[in-house]
A and B are shown apart, each in its own frame.
Chain A
Amino acid sequence: MLTFALRRAILGLLVLATVAVLVFVAFRFVPGDIVNRQLEEAGAVTPALLAEKRAQLGLDEPLPVQFYNWISGVAAGDLGKSLWSGRMVSDQIGAALAPTLQLSVLAILIGGILGIGAGVAAALWRGTPVDMVLRVASTVFLAVPQLWLGLLTLTALAAIGYFIPLPYRGFTAAPLLNLQQVVFPAAVLALGVAAALSRLTRSAMLEVVGADFIRAAHARGVSPSGVYLRHGLKNALIPVLTLLGTQFGNLLSGTVIIERIFNIPGLGNLLFESVANRDYPVIQAAVLTYGLITILVNLAVDLSYGLVDPRIREARA
């Protein structure tokens, strides 16, 4: 088990390193840099001034040197300073991380419970109107873009005279206010997750419900909830967990646009602004953070297989 976790951790680091290279290189090919943007605002642009500014920020060095400077800093725990505001990047990431994590964890919880619940219900009431309604709903929510659903939610809330209070407050500072701000974007993100999960849970449950051990559990007098939720769901859970992991990745990318729409000062908002400003150190750190979260979630999903199925646990031992 330990060696398995270790192997996965090393693999995760390799993925993270690849992400670092890709994000570093990719954004250097996007035309325009921060110096252009700053001087545009100032008004007077002379080639000499540009060169001087670039030299100040270290942007005149060859790319490999810049990369080396950055990555050695990262390895030592120093994410550098924002080219735009001069603040420590680690401070900015730290402040933005909490809202994003709260939003995505809340969304995956809501989506997981809704989706698995709907999938189990659809399987047990297969062919009935319940099943029909749930299947149509999941198809609809799978097809609707999150951006559109987010805007629709805001419009609908405004139409009934409800406005989400602003500005954003953290959960520890003002729990009630924070929940009012977070619950709608979380629900928007959760619907897509729930839609995908419910379809898979339904088919996985249908497969399990026909198994001999389900009939045998009935025969020894296990209650219906025991048969379907204990025996049925636990056996159907492996593919569902896998999907939950990949859905978390989708959800995380969804947070970028949803944070923007709902004014949540998370990683997504930070990334949005830093891209607009070509603020390379911030962009790179934000993308790396997303990568790290994704890798950790996948690791957790992989480890959870062993908790569900003893045969997988043994194969890894």
Chain B
Amino acid sequence: MPLQPSLDAASARSALLAVENVAVTYSNRSGSHEVCSDVTLSVGRGEALAVIGESGSGKSVTVLAVTGLLGAGGTITQGSIRFDGEDITRLDDRERRRRGLRGRRIGMIFQNPSRALDPVFTIGQQLNEALRQTDRFSQPELRRKGTDWLRHVGLPDPEEALDRYPHQLSGGQRQRVMIAIALASEPDLLIADEPTTALDVTIQAQVLGLIRRLQRELGLALVIVTHDFGVVAAMADRVAVMYAGQVVETGTVDEIIRAPRHPYTRALMASLPTGIPGTRVTALPGSVPSARSMPSGCRFHPRCPVAVPACSVTRPVLDSLSESRAMRCLLEEAPAS
């Protein structure tokens, strides 16, 4: 199926997934923290969006909010999430299952394939759970379809692999299995939360390539979470850059990589990994502020190399710069370095 990169504003309006001004709060006995404050992003059918940001910026929380899997104490306190025109912001588990938002229409791949597969059930048993979301299949049909999916994701000996347990596969194979499980229920949207961080560097490119190929072949919308601009360039059509629970800049991959405008995006790009694990060209000093002690004004100003006094007072909003591009910065005309 050909990819249709219609990245204009019209596609954003008819987006498959539209997250608008979403705030997420976790509360427990010791208090409550707003871990996402203002997340706005959208993905059209067949489009790939990368969500990038440092550790703790709220990327995982954002995608969990979409699937309604925030866990104990987590709630969406503001904003709305629309999927295919339906408001899914506050649906409970039962309603999400009934509408097929778990598996059949939205598939999810997790960061650590070793922990996301149940160790005491076979690959086939777990794959069947996904296959059964679409239809009632007989045992032989399940087996045949399961084998097909495992072959599709490039697992050697797909038929035998059905009867294997997760610990009998390598990390890369497990992530391929997770991809097969997520796709077996034929979703429209695939969410991949750092699908390769737990994998060996040599396997990462293969698994990413597989996701990208299947996404194009099946015409899926893709949200891929990462903190690596290399992944963004290879995988996505558009990018949303997150910092401290907010989206600070969005645009097409081309625009952002060629001309990043937000000081945080620029700093993040300047600290591209060198390819040698653990080393970065320029480390961004400091770290993401915690939900307990958010800076006043712009959340990035304490670490911002070009901050002016106003930045510590005025909260910037996400302003549209063009049809495809938006940014949250008081110094909108900040020169590209």
- Indicate if B227 sits at the interface (CB-CB under 8 A): no
Are B120 and A218 in contact (CB-based, < 8 A)?
A: no
Q: State A219–B178 Cα separation when bound (angstroms).
A: 11
- Indicate if A226 sits at the interface (CB-CB under 8 A): yes
Q: State A235–B107 Cα separation when bound (angstroms).
A: 24
Are A216 and B71 in contact (CB-based, < 8 A)?
A: no
Q: State A223–B120 Cα separation when bound (angstroms).
A: 18
- Indicate if B110 sits at the interface (CB-CB under 8 A): yes
Closest Cβ–Cβ distance, residue B302 to chain A (whole Å): 33
- Indicate if B252 sits at the interface (CB-CB under 8 A): no
Q: State A211–B97 Cα separation when bound (angstroms).
A: 20
- Indicate if A308 sits at the interface (CB-CB under 8 A): yes
19 chain-A/chain-B pairs, Cβ below 8 angstroms: A213-B116, A213-B119, A215-B71, A216-B108, A216-B116, A216-B117, A216-B118, A216-B178, A219-B69, A219-B103, A219-B107, A220-B102, A220-B108, A221-B102, A221-B104, A221-B130, A226-B129, A231-B118, A308-B120
Q: Which residue of A lies closest to B122 (CB)?
A: A310
Closest Cβ–Cβ distance, residue B147 to chain A (whole Å): 18
- Indicate if A311 sits at the interface (CB-CB under 8 A): yes
Q: Which residue of B lies closest to A231 (CB)?
A: B118
Residues in A whose Cβ lies below 8 Å from that of B133 = 220-221
Residues in A whose Cβ lies below 8 Å from that of B116 = 212-213, 215-216
- Indicate if B11 sits at the interface (CB-CB under 8 A): no
Are A223 and B97 in contact (CB-based, < 8 A)?
A: yes
Are B102 and A234 in contact (CB-based, < 8 A)?
A: no
Residues in B whose Cβ lies below 8 Å from that of A235 = 118-120
Residues in B whose Cβ lies below 8 Å from that of A176 = none
Are B115 and A217 in contact (CB-based, < 8 A)?
A: no
Closest Cβ–Cβ distance, residue A137 to chain B (whole Å): 24
User: Which residue of B107, B115, B121 is within 8 Å of A220 (Cβ)?
Assistant: B107
Of A216, A224, A230, A235, most B-chain CB atoms within 10 Å: A216
Are B69 and A215 in contact (CB-based, < 8 A)?
A: yes
Q: Chain B, 61-101, contact with A by CB distance < 8 Å: what is the 0/1 string?
A: 00000010101000000000000000000000100010010
Residues in B whose Cβ lies below 8 Å from that of A308 = 120
Q: State A224–B69 Cα separation when bound (angstroms).
A: 13
Closest Cβ–Cβ distance, residue B28 to chain A (whole Å): 11
- Indicate if B220 sits at the interface (CB-CB under 8 A): no
Q: Chain A, 291-317, contact with B by CB distance < 8 Å: what is the 0/1 string?
A: 000000000000000001111000000
Residues in A whose Cβ lies below 8 Å from that of B104 = 221
Chain B contact residues (Cβ within 8 angstroms of A): what range?
20 to 34
Residues in A whose Cβ lies below 8 Å from that of B102 = 218-221
Are B181 and A309 in contact (CB-based, < 8 A)?
A: no
- Indicate if B312 sits at the interface (CB-CB under 8 A): no
Residues in A whose Cβ lies below 8 Å from that of B185 = 220-221
Chain A contact residues (Cβ within 8 angstroms of B): what range?
20 to 34
Closest Cβ–Cβ distance, residue B272 to chain A (whole Å): 29
Are A310 and B167 in contact (CB-based, < 8 A)?
A: yes
Residues in B whose Cβ lies below 8 Å from that of A221 = 97, 100, 102-104, 129-130, 133, 185
User: Which residue of B67, B100, B112, B165 is within 8 Å of A310 (Cβ)?
Assistant: B165
Residues in B whose Cβ lies below 8 Å from that of A220 = 102-103, 107-108, 126, 129-130, 133, 181-182, 185
Are B129 and A311 in contact (CB-based, < 8 A)?
A: no
- Can you list the 5 inter-chain pairs with the closest CB atoms, starting with the nearest? A221-B103, A212-B115, A221-B102, A216-B116, A219-B108
Are B118 and A213 in contact (CB-based, < 8 A)?
A: yes
Closest Cβ–Cβ distance, residue A42 to chain B (whole Å): 66
Are A212 and B182 in contact (CB-based, < 8 A)?
A: no
- Indicate if A222 sits at the interface (CB-CB under 8 A): yes
Residues in A whose Cβ lies below 8 Å from that of B121 = 230-231, 234
Q: State A216–B71 Cα separation when bound (angstroms).
A: 12
Closest Cβ–Cβ distance, residue A225 to chain B (whole Å): 12
Residues in B whose Cβ lies below 8 Å from that of A213 = 115-119
Are A311 and B119 in contact (CB-based, < 8 A)?
A: yes
Are B167 and A222 in contact (CB-based, < 8 A)?
A: no
User: Which residue of B67, B93, B107, B129 is within 8 Å of A217 (Cβ)?
Assistant: B129
Residues in A whose Cβ lies below 8 Å from that of B112 = 212
Q: State A212–B115 Cα separation when bound (angstroms).
A: 6
Residues in B whose Cβ lies below 8 Å from that of A223 = 97
- With A221-B102, A235-B120 known as contacts, the answer to whether A216 contacts B110 (CB < 8 A) is yes
Residues in A whose Cβ lies below 8 Å from that of B108 = 216, 219-220
Q: Which residue of B lies closest to A234 (CB)?
A: B120
Closest Cβ–Cβ distance, residue B225 to chain A (whole Å): 14
Closest Cβ–Cβ distance, residue A211 to chain B (whole Å): 7
Q: Chain B, 158-169, contact with A by CB distance < 8 Å: what is the 0/1 string?
A: 000000010100
Q: Which residue of B lies closest to A308 (CB)?
A: B120
Of B71, B103, B118, most A-chain CB atoms within 10 Å: B118
- With A215-B110, A218-B102, A221-B103 known as contacts, the answer to whether A309 contacts B130 (CB < 8 A) is no
Q: State A215–B107 Cα separation when bound (angstroms).
A: 12
